Amino acid sequence: MNVRVKAFARFREIIGSENTLQLNEGTPVIDALKTLSAGSLDFRDACFDKEGNVASHVVLMINGKRISSKDREKVVLHDGDELAVFPPVAGG
């Protein structure tokens, strides 16, 4: 299956604005992020905590719907999904 990954802000600087991943149907979101991080240590360090979990400040969306931090481990991807990855957002 193909999943499009859109990265924003600092993540876009690290891995580019869009990537297409070829994954097995039903791949968990966390595994897709690990696939992306295999090509970039900077992305791994920015996206994951020291225990290998997606950092709590990272915002993830599938097809425009935000994934809660408690669901990150169990949400799976399907062919044609768009995964958006946002770093912490601050402003004022």
pTM (2 d.p.): 0.90
Regarding beta strands 2-7 and 65-67, do their DSSP bridges make them parallel or antiparallel, or are they unpaired?
unpaired
Higher per-residue confidence, 88 vs 3: 3
HSE, side-chain direction, 13 A CA sphere, residue 83: 27
List domains and CATH numbers for the chain: 2-86 (3.10.20.30)
Helical H segments across 1-92, by residue range = 10-15, 29-38, 41-47
Q: Dig out the tokens for 52 from the structure.
A: 């290998």
pLDDT in tens, 15-67: 999 999 999 999 999 999 999 999 899 999 999 999 989 998 999 999 999 99
Q: Is the pLDDT of residue 92 over 80?
A: no
The distance from CA 70 to its chain's CA centroid, rounded to whole angstroms, is 15
Q: Predicted confidence band at 90 (pLDDT cuts at 50, 70, 90)?
A: low
